[in-house]
Amino acid sequence: MSSSTRNPPDAREDVERETPRQGGPLADLRNRVVFPVFDDLPIDNGFDPGFQDFVFGFGQLVKRHWCFLAEIKFHHTHNGTLYMYFKDFDGNVPRLGLGFCTDGQGSEIPSAYVQEGYTIALIYAFCHARETGDYNIQHEFPRMLRDCQRRGWKSNGHKADCKLLRDRNIRDIFYFHWEQFMGTAQFPLLGTE
């Protein structure tokens, strides 16, 4: 992904700052605009007007929030790089999965969180076109990813008293103002307390 196709997510000044949410509806995980499946993600070396604006002098900039959610099916490390293979909400299992292009090549994520059946949450995920004609996700920003434990998705029906929802990062996915874009966001999501 070229640097002109994304906003700098590590700039704290660009992180969304909102007023706290006071009740109201939780995020609908079935909303494919906010939580797209793999086939609906924008391509990193293209321009998708549904996800990006073109700003003269700056190139392509993210214009709205989205978060890719998927279940980890398996993972492995190759040449020091972590790769995760996943299944999205539509049951898609891309052949090439998710590769970590971070400084730590995925080592930033504790191995206890990289487990089959856990869920990944990746803000501003882009598909990357490979020379083979396949697509994968090349993850570059550690603060744009979270792993969620299996028990919260398979049991308890997302009840408010579920242990999983006591985790601020997971709870914030439900309370974040996905429909309001005031700059790029990263984990931990701000403006949800």
- Among residues 131, 183, 177, the alpha carbon closest in space to that of 6 is found at 183
Confidence band for 69, pLDDT divided at 50, 70 and 90: very high
For the chain, which domains are there? 3-15+26-175 (2.40.50.140)
Mean pLDDT, the chain, as a whole number?
74
> What DSSP assignment string belongs to 78-124?
ETTEEEEEEEETT----SS-EEE-STTTTTTS-GGG--TT-EEEEET
Confidence band for 170, pLDDT divided at 50, 70 and 90: confident
* Tokens (6 digits) for 78: 């190759």
pTM above 0.75, yes or no: no
Cis-peptide, bond into residue 188, ω within 30° of zero: yes
pLDDT of residue 62: 76
